Amino acid sequence: MKDKQPKTRIQKKDDTPSKGMVVIPYVEGLAERLQRIFKKHNISTAIRPTNTLISLLVHPKDKQDIEQTNDVVYNIPCKRCDKSYVRETGRQFGTRLKEHKKDSETIAERKFTRANRKESTSEQHKSAITDHIAQENHVIECEGAKALDRDSNAFTRSIREAIQIRKKGAKAINRDEAY
C-alpha cells in the first residue's frame, strides 16, 4: 500500500492588504457567491450558520402565564350572545379579569324586577360589560377571555384597542363609540 502524504496548499501572498472582514449568514448558494465577490475586492469573509444546535434546543425564558401579562388589549366574550368586551390595561391581565368577575357577580346577585331592570338601563356601572350584564341579564365568559395584543406604550395600546373595537363593530360591548 502506498503511504498517503498530506497535501499542502501553496498560498499566494498578495501585496494588497485586506480591506476588512464581513461575517455573513449561511444561505445555500448565496453565501458562496457573496464570498467570491468579497474576495475580488480584498474583503475577508466568514460564514456563520443561521441555526445552531443551541438556538434550536435551548429556550432560557419560560412562557409567561397570560394572566401575569401586563400592557395588553384583551377580549372578554359574553356567554349568551355573540358580543364581546374589548379593553386595554397597563396592569396585570389576571388582576383586571378578577375585577370584572367581581363586578359582574355583584350585579348578577341583584334580583331584577321589570321596574328595576328598566331603572338599571339608565344607570351607568363601572364598565360597559357590567352595563351589558345588568341590561341584558347575560353572563360573561371569563374562561374565554384572551389577550389580543400587547404594547408597553399606553397611547399606542389605546390605538390598538380602538382598532380591535372597530373590528368587532356592532358585536363590541364598549362605551367608546367615539373611536
Contact 125, 106 (CB under 8 A): no
pLDDT per position as a tens digit, 126-153: 788 888 887 777 888 888 899 999 999 9
Distance between terminal CA atoms of the chain? Answer: 86
Q: Is the pLDDT of residue 48 over 70?
A: yes
Average pLDDT of the residues of the chain: 82
Report phi then psi at 2, rounded to 5.
-90, 130
Q: Which DSSP helix (H) or strand (E) runs through 157?
A: helix 154-168
Q: Taking 90 as the threshold, does the pLDDT of residue 35 lie above it?
A: yes
Element (H, E) at 118: helix 114-122
pTM > 0.95:
no
Q: Judge whether 147 and 90 are in contact, CB under 8 Å.
A: no
Sort 166 into a burial class: Cβ within 10 Å, 0-12 / 13-18 / 19+. Answer: exposed
Whether the per-residue pLDDT at 33 is higher than 60: the answer is yes
H-run or E-run covering 135: helix 128-136
DSSP H/E element including 165? helix 154-168
Q: Which amino acid, one-letter code, is at 45?
A: T
* Cα 96 versus chain centre, distance: 18
* Domain layout of the chain by residue ranges: 21-52, 66-171
In tens, the pLDDT along 76-91 reads 998 888 889 999 999 9
pLDDT digits (tens, 9 = 90+) for 89-133: 999 999 999 998 888 888 777 666 666 666 666 666 778 888 888
pLDDT at 75: 93
Alpha helix stretches (DSSP H) within 13-113:
30-40, 53-57, 93-109
